[in-house]
Structure 1
């Protein structure tokens, strides 16, 4: 498989991963208790993450980033996601979806303006989902209307990760009232979050994922200049969003397996220490079965992710494979954290232990960046389309 994006030098990348692995275990995991109490990543840790270049992982070196390819990025996310999910969420929208949108659809001027700020640590958001629509672009209600030399946006975006902290957002909006073929009624806009007319709702209370903030973004007569239109071209927003979501889905897959590994390591430690009938429960074969099944599923997820990421770097279209990887990794993570609660037994239901937090935190992975059910439909449609076209 040829490589179009070689990414960071291999030796440098290996050194970076070793450093990150130590940082996650020595600095991030000890900070989790404080984050659970405050629902916020400490400012000094955010500063350290910026200094390490975590906000610029995939941004090209010419704009101040590390220039990682997709394979390196997903391996980095897997390591980072061994700690609680908020550390991935705060950077992944920037280095994943927003960077992908600008890289694939932005003009040179837009890249030069925004990518260096992102690489330095600017928090961003990606506004696609609405109260009445998510994957269904025909149901999108946010409108962008031409006004003089610019645009006026009105609408509401819902469940937007990083919305309370973001300085900039890529917002999807209709530029045509009619639903057009190939979703050409949707365009993408680069929106500074301090623009008059933007209101960010109260941060939503969630089942899990402490320190990760989501909220509504309400746009009321938000006036934007002409160059806010991504790529200065109408009708490309949905295509841009879908390309960005491929990246986002691989990031969620990587996060799923990183957190699954953390949960399994916790279960191994607990099963080795907890005794019943005079011996560690790790000696019981049904406990061993749950551990083994979990390890098998993590390995399968890692293999799918590595293959899909390398295909991205080789320039192959991966919409179907990225969806499959995200579905398998997130669903297997759900099964794994459930087994971990079972291994902990009654203690697994108590907030005093990590198992119940793993269970709550992991549940969202099967929902965002495309629910399992939506992605299954997407995979099946592509299978049927390829069958009808005679593609093997």
Structure 2
């Protein structure tokens, strides 16, 4: 495609192809992914060929050009299987890629967006640090000028795709916060830059195959052209914008995962018996299924509305936080009920709902914890009420 406008039929085709890929290629290999803690290479190649590494990047750079309203529909399909699949290309399309799309210079966009869209380069969003997770203003990684260059020092943690990344989108403090701004800049640092080291991938409770790791920067020298937006004051705004957009995507992912948990539970309740009676005929089981269905239906409507108001620019602050808060908390409740419906079988490794139960716990933490979303919402509502009318 050469036009930036994606037709409705084009999008329906992309969505249908993604659903088929998820349900016929990835789902049968979920246990393999979990046990190996790795997405098989042939699945990675298939995702790359489908354009999934750049589905939300502009078409002029080789992406599919999906807007956020379309993104969330795709995310609900991707959430239906192992979340490691989406993690492969999530940062390219989301928090890392959107920094370049929204704030990069034309030269930076030319240099990086096409290889990211093609899947030749995986970008990592290097923001989180020990002591600076949900509050980016507290970060301690520093960047100081040395002639025309910048020298970066600091440590990052829980950085998604760090072990396979070709590019790190790195947030660093250039000065203490002052009246001019928070003093946070963002830099594009190739993975092979001297002084940059990546630790072994983390062993997590869930989301096996979705790799994270610590990243250290020791006297890492980059040129002036590595400074995103050619400004030392872009970083905080870029982080907040990318994270807010990403929260709507994560909310949609949670809806897709919850839908899978419900479908597994309904199928189990219809087939399994207790004392010769199908589980689904017991009213308390039906009540659990009803609560799951209601939460998912509400979450789907909420995330679609949040995506709509992002695209129209009506609300790019409160709606993303509301969607992420509700949908990720809802997915946790649904996963818990799914295990309960399955009984002892739901606690066994190799059962889809057991994996989902562990996987969804992280959704309430990354890209802003539930507690941070509540602070954004409460503070935002009070600030809105105090504005002159």
Q: Does structure 1 conserve the Cα–Cα contact (< 8 Å) formed by 2:128 and 2:136?
A: no
Could you tell me which residue of structure 2 aligns to residue 206 of structure 1?
A: 204
- Deviations, residues 257-279 of structure 1 (Å, cap 9, x unaligned): 11111111111111111101221
**Superposition misfits of 4+ residues, deviation over 4 angstroms:** none
CA–CA distance in structure 1, aligned partners of residues 295 and 28 of structure 2: 27
Return the offset for 1:383: 0.7
Where structure 2 has 5 or more consecutive residues not aligned to the other structure, the ranges are none
1:154 is paired with a residue of what secondary structure?
strand
1:179 is paired with a residue of what secondary structure?
coil
CA–CA distance in structure 2, aligned partners of residues 22 and 204 of structure 1: 31
2:39 is paired with a residue of what secondary structure?
coil
2:203 is paired with a residue of what secondary structure?
coil
Could you tell me which residue of structure 1 aligns to residue 18 of structure 2?
A: 20
Could you tell me which residue of structure 2 aligns to residue 131 of structure 1?
A: 130
Could you tell me which residue of structure 2 aligns to residue 197 of structure 1?
A: 195
**Change over 3 Å in CA distance of 1:330–1:183 after alignment to 2:** farther
TM-score scaled to structure 1, two decimals?
0.96
Return the offset for 1:8: 1.8
Could you tell me which residue of structure 2 aligns to residue 337 of structure 1?
A: 335
In the TM superposition, what are the counterparts of 1:1-392 in structure 2 within 5 Å? 7-121=5-119, 122-176=121-175, 178-181=176-179, 183-390=181-388
Return the offset for 1:357: 1.1
CA–CA distance in structure 1, aligned partners of residues 136 and 79 of structure 2: 30
Where structure 1 has 5 or more consecutive residues not aligned to the other structure, the ranges are none
- Deviations, residues 270-305 of structure 1 (Å, cap 9, x unaligned): 111110122100011111111111111111111111
CA–CA distance in structure 2, aligned partners of residues 181 and 28 of structure 1: 51
TM-score scaled to structure 2, two decimals?
0.97
CA–CA distance in structure 1, aligned partners of residues 23 and 71 of structure 2: 19
Return the offset for 1:138: 3.8
Q: Does structure 2 conserve the Cα–Cα contact (< 8 Å) formed by 1:158 and 1:216?
A: yes
CA–CA distance in structure 1, aligned partners of residues 179 and 100 of structure 2: 23
- Deviations, residues 148-206 of structure 1 (Å, cap 9, x unaligned): 11100000011111111111011100010x22247531111111111110010111110
Aligned length: 386
CA–CA distance in structure 2, aligned partners of residues 55 and 182 of structure 1: 37
| Structure 1 vs Structure 2 CA RMSD | 1.4
Q: Does structure 1 conserve the Cα–Cα contact (< 8 Å) formed by 2:169 and 2:187?
A: yes
CA–CA distance in structure 1, aligned partners of residues 275 and 388 of structure 2: 61
CA–CA distance in structure 2, aligned partners of residues 7 and 386 of structure 1: 34
CA–CA distance in structure 2, aligned partners of residues 17 and 27 of structure 1: 15
